[in-house]
A and B are shown apart, each in its own frame.
Chain A
Amino acid sequence: MRPPSEITCGSPGRIQRSERPNQRRFTVEHPINGALLTLAPLLVALASAPAAVFAGWIRTRFAAPVGAAFALLAAVTTLVVYLRGGGEVNVAWAPTWDLRLHFALDGLAALYALLATGVGFLVLAYSSRYLPLHLEHGGRDPSEGNRFYGFMLLFMGSMVGLAMAQDLILIFVFWDLTAVASYYLIGYDRHDANSRASALMALLVTGVTAVLLLIGALMFYAAYRTYSVPELAGLVRPGPLLNTAGLLIAIAALAKSAQVPLHFWLPRAMAAPTPVSAYLHSAAMVAAGVLLLGRVYPLLQESELLLNVLLGVGLLSMAVGGVLALTRDVLKQLLAYSTISQYGYVVFLYGLGGKYGAVGASFYVIAHALAKSALFLTAGAVSQATGEDRLSRMGGLRKPLPVLAAASGAAAAGLAALPLTIGFFKDELFFEAALQRGPVFAGLAVAGAALTIAYAWRFWSGIFLGTPRDGAHGVPAALVWPVAVLGILVLVGGVFVEPFAVLARSAGAAYYPGPVESVKPAYHLDLRPENLMALATFGLGALLVVSRRAWVGAAWGAARIGEKVGPEKLYEVGIIELNRFSDRVHSYEVRDLRSRIASILLPAGVLVGLAILATPNVDVYRVGSVAWQDAPLLLALVAVAVSAIAATFTRRHVTLALVLSSAGYVLAAVYAFFGAPDVALVAVLIETVVTLLFLATLKLVPYKILHRQARLPLQRRGRKIATSAIAGAGAFAVAWGTLSQPAAERSVSQDLVELTPEAHAKDVVTATLADFRGLDTLGEITVVALVLLGVATLLRKGRLR
């Protein structure tokens, strides 16, 4: 382990499996400055949320510009630090638990941080105009926007943190922060029950699976004593541990990326305001899943099983998302299913592996983020223009919104991977990676890409082509220019692909063990297989578009079946049943005193019983030796047991009090035989007091009432006897098991005995109570004082009545 105070900085290069990361780290002259520089993107991103909220608190309309400015600043900072070679900060966080604050701005981190801050800036600029309209539409106060910007920027900050975190626990922390931020953003329209239910669904699906990530991290820690991903990458070996822990982490990532079968929360999350959806889909929440997959890819790629799981899940998501996107009518739903399908490609690429898969996955994320955020913002803008959110009620909007039509046309073309857009290269890498694995995968890749063309065309043509409708009006410029910027980026990427490719390569290098420099997306004007596949895709896509009537019925049927028996149904039924169960337990628990006590004691008893069953119980129990001088002790114990049993038979209360006190007095004798005169004396005293109190109570309550109770027949006798027998058996198992295994180590009691003369005392127990454990005694005295107050109050109130 490294010394805890060490701060190391360095330029992160590729992480070799065999190379321990501390070997390639070097200390710069001013470690603090270096660390600050490396952390600058994260610090700016995390500071943006409080800054925007503060600005909005001063004046509502300041929140959006300040937030957008901070996002832009964070993006610029990220870019600058990345171009300077990145860096790494690794300081102890909680050394006793081996937790470290380990951040690095490597290629992967830079890619996702740039996406989160860059797209975040555009989305915030868009929101500055969209959100007031949204709030006005809902008749809400403009100051509610503060909450929106606060959570939006928290989202951004946690994404940057997640991108830079190299420690599994740190990743988990930021992971959950994104879940919290998304919960509030999806449920932003909190007056709407649907919105709240959607937010809860997203939180449950991604939050419950996040626990799997934690479990996976702990499993790795248990085996290798480190949470650091780069260190783990050099340590893991294929085997059941890697398969299990890796699968748990992969499930968390796949749920976050809305992959089948945990995809259903994403279409529901469309209840959020449109900018949130745009951000969620392109650069934040959903991207976090594939980011995590990339981060732990050095671990996952050791296991053939895990790669096959990724292949299968990716393929399934491509198919399900693609087919469902062709059936949805609500704009944002269509886009949501397309996102599921698109991230399916990314997961598929991870599963394919190889250098093309690794670089392709990162390149795909860039291309998709640009195109998809543009399309979402388009959906929001045209909804504002027409007041409609369904494809079937739109059309012909190219006339009133020419710039938007052109920009989103470029974005849709990018999604569909047409030439002269950045999308063409994402499919080029995709096809190359698939070709490496064989013709079957190549065929599947073509089919998937054709589906993309079909729904991209459906989205764009449905909005902008066709007969114009009445009632459409223009939209503010702020709703158009962010889309235009993204559209231009998509086109620029189609011509000058190298900057994007450099970023994707350096991201791929961060997690792919082999060399990736040879992966260069470019146009080739020849009949190489990738180009043929692209041509086949275009042809198939066009065929899908023109033959819509022929297959749309089947697609609808598939969607219906999914609704009836799909995982969403399962989730709903599960939630309803859980609710019902909780209601039932609650109504039973609050019914009366007895069920309230039972609802505490029963689960406790069950837990104890399970613990007894779970602990090994062979050769554990000891009978113990009995010496002749123990005879009086044994006799006394028998007497205690007999009086306890007698207490259960006694009818009259006075007798009961006497039986109880006899048990107590004999117990005092038992303590005396144990060599504990202090306890014995106190027990006698206490027993006397309790007996007197009991008799006094009997005197206060009239005999008539006591008599009625004493003559009461015992109801459900068998059940009560059985219950108490089980309770006794449990106590027996616990007591015998515990007493059979005394602590093996030197007890603190010896210290107490040795220290007593120093406390100027003779009796060790007295010294312990008054001196060594004096605070305990103080607490005990407080309890007695409180009880006295309580008793006095109760008695006085009683008499006053």
Chain B
Amino acid sequence: MILAVSIVIAVIFGSGAFLILQRDLLRLIVGILLISNASILFVMASGLSRGKAPIYPLDGASVSDPLVQAMALTALVIGSSTAALLLALVYRLYVSHRSIDIEDLSTAEMEAADALERVNVTEFDRGFRDEPVQEEQADERELEKEEPR
């Protein structure tokens, strides 16, 4: 039984990992969900006892471990919330980039970073050319001018 559960956990985890490696963001989410399922199964399987449901009245027979069940419940709810957030993010990315392909997004990201860097460099250059102290003084003067109005 231990071996069987372990193999199933491994298969789900591996399938999830394979899906995470895809370019399609939706497949990536499916991969994440599968991995979260694998971990919940792992938590459930690590219960110390198996038996009847832990609901009173107990008739003396062994009950299944309630602690792991509580944890699995928490994990399930959090997992579904994460999935909702991820799906909303995918939709948002589609709206802004018209694509759900991770390669397209990477390209866009790099272009944006380059553009940002160019802006920073030019500002940096400008800062070096002008005397910053004078600029501050000019600002102060302007402020003084504005204040009486």
Whether A and B are associated in the same complex: the answer reads yes
A interface residues, Cβ below 8 angstroms from B = 591-594, 621-626, 630, 634, 637-638, 640-641, 644-645, 647-648, 653, 656, 660, 663-664, 667, 670-671, 674-679, 682-683, 686, 689-690, 693-694, 696-698, 700-701, 705-706, 708-710, 712, 714-715, 720-721, 723-725, 727-729, 731-732, 735-736, 738-740, 742-743, 747-749, 752-753, 756-757, 761-765, 768-769, 773, 776-777, 780, 783-784, 787, 790-791, 794-795, 797-799, 801
Residues of A within 8 A of B3 (CB): 621-624, 736
How many inter-chain contacts with C-beta < 8 Å in the A-B complex? 287
Query: Is B88 close to A, CB under 8 A?
Result: yes
Q: B29-62: which residues lie under 8 A (CB-CB) from chain A?
A: 29-30, 33-34, 37-38, 40-42, 44-58
Q: Do A739 and B2 touch (CB < 8 A)?
A: yes
For residue A417, give the distance in angstroms from its CB to the closest CB of chain B: 57
Q: Do A797 and B92 touch (CB < 8 A)?
A: yes
24 CB < 8 A contacts A-B: A592-B102, A647-B15, A653-B26, A667-B37, A670-B41, A693-B87, A694-B29, A709-B24, A723-B21, A727-B14, A728-B10, A728-B14, A735-B5, A735-B10, A736-B2, A739-B2, A739-B6, A739-B46, A740-B2, A747-B49, A764-B63, A784-B78, A787-B81, A795-B88
Q: Do A677 and B53 touch (CB < 8 A)?
A: yes
Q: Do A626 and B15 touch (CB < 8 A)?
A: no
Nearest first, the 6 closest Cβ-Cβ pairs linking A and B are A728-B14, A624-B2, A675-B64, A732-B10, A592-B106, A724-B18
For residue A728, give the distance in angstroms from its CB to the closest CB of chain B: 3
Residue-by-residue, is B84-128 near A (CB-CB < 8 Å gives 1, otherwise 0)? 110111111011101111100110011000000000000000000
Contact partner of A683 among B64, B76, B81, CB < 8 A?
A: B76
Contact partner of A640 among B12, B53, B109, CB < 8 A?
A: B12
Residue among A625, A637, A790 facing the most chain B CB atoms (10 A cut-off):
A637
Q: Do A709 and B26 touch (CB < 8 A)?
A: yes
Q: Do B106 and A787 touch (CB < 8 A)?
A: no
Q: Do A663 and B53 touch (CB < 8 A)?
A: no
Query: Is B138 close to A, CB under 8 A?
Result: no
Q: Do A765 and B69 touch (CB < 8 A)?
A: yes
Q: Do B73 and A769 touch (CB < 8 A)?
A: yes
Chain A, Cβ-Cβ closest to B74? A780
Residues of A within 8 A of B4 (CB): 624, 626, 634, 637
For residue A150, give the distance in angstroms from its CB to the closest CB of chain B: 29
When chains A and B are docked, how far (Å) is the Cα of A764 from the Cα of B11?
Answer: 31
Chain B at the A interface: mostly helix, strand, loop or mixed? helix
Residues of B within 8 A of A777 (CB): 74
Residues of A within 8 A of B102 (CB): 592-594
Q: Do A720 and B92 touch (CB < 8 A)?
A: no
For residue A7, give the distance in angstroms from its CB to the closest CB of chain B: 45
Residues of A within 8 A of B82 (CB): 787
When chains A and B are docked, how far (Å) is the Cα of A625 from the Cα of B76?
Answer: 28
When chains A and B are docked, how far (Å) is the Cα of A795 from the Cα of B51?
Answer: 45
Q: Do A663 and B37 touch (CB < 8 A)?
A: yes
Residues of A within 8 A of B100 (CB): 701, 705-706, 709
Residues of A within 8 A of B79 (CB): 686
When chains A and B are docked, how far (Å) is the Cα of A637 from the Cα of B79?
Answer: 20
Q: How large is the interface on B (under 10, 10 to 19, 20 to 34, 35 or more residues)?
A: 35 or more
With A721-B18, A749-B49 as contacts: A592 and B109 at CB distance below 8 Å:
yes
When chains A and B are docked, how far (Å) is the Cα of A653 from the Cα of B87?
Answer: 13
Residues of A within 8 A of B21 (CB): 720, 723-724
With A723-B21, A731-B10 as contacts: A768 and B67 at CB distance below 8 Å:
yes
When chains A and B are docked, how far (Å) is the Cα of A709 from the Cα of B15?
Answer: 19
Contact partner of B87 among A593, A648, A670, A697, CB < 8 A?
A: A697
With A641-B7, A660-B33, A705-B98 as contacts: A795 and B66 at CB distance below 8 Å:
no
Residues of A within 8 A of B64 (CB): 674-676
Residues of B within 8 A of A740 (CB): 2
Q: Do B8 and A637 touch (CB < 8 A)?
A: yes
Contact partner of A736 among B6, B22, B69, B74, CB < 8 A?
A: B6
Residue among A644, A690, A723 facing the most chain B CB atoms (10 A cut-off):
A644
When chains A and B are docked, how far (Å) is the Cα of A690 from the Cα of B83?
Answer: 7
When chains A and B are docked, how far (Å) is the Cα of A533 from the Cα of B21?
Answer: 77
Q: Do B88 and A747 touch (CB < 8 A)?
A: no
Chain A, Cβ-Cβ closest to B109? A592
Q: Do B41 and A783 touch (CB < 8 A)?
A: no
Q: Do A732 and B6 touch (CB < 8 A)?
A: yes
Residues of B within 8 A of A644 (CB): 11-12, 15-16, 34
Residues of A within 8 A of B15 (CB): 644-645, 647-648, 724, 728
Residues of B within 8 A of A675 (CB): 50-54, 63-64
Known contacts A640-B12, A678-B69, A732-B6, then 7 further A-B pairs from the complex at CB < 8 Å, ordered by chain A residue? A592-B109, A624-B1, A728-B17, A738-B42, A765-B69, A784-B77, A801-B96
Residues of B within 8 A of A701 (CB): 90-91, 94, 100
Chain A, Cβ-Cβ closest to B34? A644
Q: Do A727 and B11 touch (CB < 8 A)?
A: no
For residue A615, give the distance in angstroms from its CB to the closest CB of chain B: 16
Residues of A within 8 A of B92 (CB): 794-795, 797-798
